[in-house]
């Protein structure tokens, strides 16, 4: 399943963007249900195998238009991870509701990697443009909430993005002129539901195998 958010009602979003006043927006969003977003039925419907990211943003929830925010529900099954990625248009704050999740963040060249452990009630921040990743360390589901200061955050998975450029440029980046680029990158996961299975250590500890719960 493709995790890229599709605009659910382009005409409605366009009308909201053209509305001159808040009053006008309320005439467009005239029903109570226009102001409610249901994560339970949101895309992707697969939640914890291995995991999923469900975004309430301008594309999926038109009432967000003009408010400069996205709220995401992060559902990480046992050993699930969000691959290294960055958001080109948003700073990201993540708070744990359940589970034990380790995060990693690199803000720019020359700085150290910041790692945090998020247990219920703990939060971390990923500044705009920073590379970050996270993994559920446990054998039970982990549930987190993410808040981002853009209604159109954008997401770029690092490995997938790198492997979309020319092979010779990838070899140069790795300093290996004989690198078999296609063989090395053939198993890079697609965008999918936003989450993939994580480390072999965690999978073995939880009695799991890749692709199986």
**DSSP string covering 174-208, please?**
HT-TT--HHHHHTT---STTS-EE--HHHHHHTT-
- Percent of the residues in the chain that have a pLDDT greater than 90, as a whole number: 85
Biggest alpha carbon–alpha carbon distance for the chain: 63
- pLDDT tens-digit profile of 109-157? 999 999 999 999 999 999 999 999 999 999 999 999 999 999 999 999 9
User: Is 185 a domain residue?
Assistant: no
Predicted pLDDT at 5: 87
The half-sphere exposure of 163 on its side-chain side, counting CA atoms within 13 A, is 16
In whole angstroms, what is the distance from residue 34 CA to residue 31 CA? 5
User: Is 212 a domain residue?
Assistant: no
b/e map 147-174, b = 16+ CB within 10 Å: bbbbbbbebebeeeebbeeeeeebbeee
User: Is 132 a domain residue?
Assistant: yes
Question: Structural domain tally of the chain?
Answer: 1
User: Is 25 a domain residue?
Assistant: yes
* DSSP category for residue 134: E
- pLDDT tens-digit profile of 65-105? 999 999 999 999 999 999 999 999 999 999 999 999 999 99
Predicted pLDDT at 211: 53
Question: Is a pLDDT exceeding 90 seen at residue 210?
Answer: no
What's the whole-number mean pLDDT along residues 178-201?
89
What Cα–Cα distance (Å) separates residue 11 from each residue in 6, 70, 114, 170? 13, 20, 42, 41
Residue 55 near residue 82, CB atoms below 8 Å: no
CATH number assigned to the domain comprising residue 127: 2.60.120.10
Torsion 201-205-206-209 (CA) sign: positive
- pLDDT tens-digit profile of 38-75? 999 887 776 788 999 999 999 999 999 999 999 999 99
Predicted pLDDT at 190: 82
User: Is 39 a domain residue?
Assistant: yes
- Residue 94's domain spans which residues? 10-154+194-205
Q: Phi and psi for 4 in degrees, rounded to 5?
A: -60, 130
């Amino acid at each position: 399943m493709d995790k890229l958010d599709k605009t659910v009602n382009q005409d409605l979003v366009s009308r909201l963007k053209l509305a001159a006043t808040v009053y006008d927006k309320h005439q467009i969003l005239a029903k109570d249900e226009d102001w409610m977003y249901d994560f339970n039925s949101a895309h992707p419907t697969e939640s914890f195998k291995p995991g999923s990211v469900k975004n309430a943003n301008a594309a999926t929830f038109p009432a967000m238009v003009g408010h400069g925010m996205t709220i995401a529900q992060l559902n990480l099954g046992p050993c699930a991870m969000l691959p290294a990625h960055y958001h080109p248009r948003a700073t990201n704050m993540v708070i744990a509701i359940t589970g034990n999740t380790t995060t990693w963040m690199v803000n720019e060249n020359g700085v150290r990697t910041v790692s945090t452990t998020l247990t219920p009630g703990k939060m971390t921040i990923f500044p705009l443009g920073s590379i970050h990743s996270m993994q559920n360390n446990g054998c039970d589901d982990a549930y987190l909430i993410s808040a981002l200061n853009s209604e159109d955050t954008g997401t770029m998975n690092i490995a997938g993005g790198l492997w979309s450029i020319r092979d010779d440029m990838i070899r140069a980046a790795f300093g290996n002129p004989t690198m078999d680029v296609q063989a090395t990158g053939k198993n890079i996961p697609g965008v999918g539901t936003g989450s993939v299975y994580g480390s072999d250590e965690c999978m073995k500890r939880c009695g799991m195998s890749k692709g199986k719960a």
